[in-house]
Amino acid sequence: MKKFLALLLFALPLAASAAEPGQFEEERSWTEIEAKLPPYPKEENLLPLFVSAASDNKFFVDAVSISVGEDGVARYTMIVKSPAGADNVSFEGIRCATREKKLYAFGRKEGSWSRARVSRWEPIRYQDINRHHHVLYDDFFCPNGIIVKSAQDAVDALRRGFRP
């Protein structure tokens, strides 16, 4: 009898911590919508993004490219300008529900896109330098882990430089 009670007491917390039926259904059935490449960014549409005093790079998001998909992904064009004059342009997405980022395409110098050969969801990790994904996730696209309501909300926050 003591063995039975010990076994029962051991199994009870496991049963209590089991997920409710359908609790994680959304995560299992999630489907990403097709990411359509935006127009190539224009200088007049770039919104500055302060990332860190530890980096000499300057970061910008193209306001026109920001979208909030029905799949819970904020998509945007990121421009990173180095002090040496090099510009890196990329079309990316952030999935708020899982704190992940994805690279869809690279910008070419002549103003066209090249789809990324490897395009997969990767965790957003905190970094001291070039932590733009972390800043976009926490401060502009996914405050408190919840995606912004609209692209305009994200644009407004980037223009202010912070979330209200």
Instruction: Give the tens place of pLDDT for each residue, 4-34.
Output: 444 444 544 444 444 444 444 455 688 999 9
Percent of the chain at pLDDT > 90 equals: 66
Of the two residues 116 and 127, the one the predictor is more confident about is 116
C-alpha dist (Å) from residue 109 to 40, 63, 86, 137? 10, 20, 10, 27
Q: What is the pLDDT of residue 20?
A: 46
Helix residue spans in the chain (DSSP H)? 2-16, 25-28, 132-135, 151-160
Length of the chain: 164
Fold of 41-160: Lipocalin (2.40.128)
Q: How confident is the model at residue 127 (pLDDT cuts 50, 70, 90)?
A: confident
Reported as a single tens digit per residue, the pLDDT across 73-83 is 999 999 999 99
What average pLDDT score do residues 102-121 get? 94
d(CA 148, CA 75): 12
What average pLDDT score do residues 60-68 get? 97
Extended beta strands in the chain, E state: 46-49, 58-68, 73-81, 87-95, 100-107, 113-115, 122-123
User: Domain ranges in the chain?
Assistant: 41-160
d(CA 159, CA 98): 26
